[in-house]
Amino acid sequence: MPQFKNVLITGASSGIGEALAKHYALAGVDNLFICGRNQERLEQVAKACRRNKVVSVHTQVLDITDRAAAKAWIEECEKEAPLDLVFANAGISTGEETTENIYNTFNTNVFGVLNTVLPTIEIYRRRKEPACKSIAITSSIAGYHGLMTCPSYSASKAGVKAWGEALRLALKKEGINVSVICPGFVRSRITDKNTCPMPFFMEADKAAAIIAERLSRNVGLIAFPWPMRFVSWLGSILPNWLSEFIYSRLPYKV
């Protein structure tokens, strides 16, 4: 069972990222590296994590779409303490499907993941000593099938889901563990704006506990809650004419 001592989390200033940071701080990791774009929210998370005085919490205000800055930060964290769990977690919702918002969604949800995972793989490959080398990529249940209510968001999450699943197989022989996280509706700044129905809604701390427990067992696909996972999986394998009929009747966000 992997034992994580030095954990890095992108997008840690709210939602699942914030909950994961607090979870691992409470669990007593040695070092916690967290980043976000909003300094005030990030420092609030860090303050909560530092209540466990055993944990050393390092913060960085960072736009994860900045490839060079992301790589430099991850390398700095590795010099501070050898990373054994890296969360490519930063993500945004699209909102109105304008050209600018669509580009922003893909830049953060896809290229932000690449900017986190690729430098981490380089670091893990340089290591000669046996150590825990884990990567977790946050996708979404929305990545199981394109949704007309959020085309860009579901497409971006589908992309990183497929990439992460493939990476898990490709990197297994090198001793690098890759897990893909596909949560349903979890409390975050994204869901706070939703006006559509959110079945099986879950608080972020509960989601973080599920994720952490399954990562400790090196589960490859961490999708929950199970009823939503089942329905999404079923929708993804239906004949196209039937899935179109069903998905076209989903309520719009307003």
Round to whole Å and give the CA distance between 11 and 38: 10
Domains in the chain, start-ordered, CATH in brackets? Answer: 6-247 (3.40.50.720)
Mean pLDDT, range 147-167, rounded to an integer: 94
- Nearest Cα neighbor of 46 from 74, 63, 22 is 22
Round to whole Å and give the CA distance between 210 and 44: 23
| 76-103 pLDDT per residue, tens | 999 999 999 999 999 998 989 999 999 9
Per-residue model confidence (pLDDT) at position 1:
42
Q: Which residues, 6 or more positions from 76, have their beta carbon under 8 angstroms from its beta carbon? A: none
- Structural contact between residues 25 and 57, judged by C-beta atoms closer than 8 angstroms: yes
| 30-56 pLDDT per residue, tens | 999 999 999 999 999 999 999 988 899
Side chain identity, residue 109: N
| 114-128 pLDDT per residue, tens | 999 999 999 999 987
| 130-149 pLDDT per residue, tens | 678 999 999 999 899 888 88
Round to whole Å and give the CA distance between 218 and 206: 19
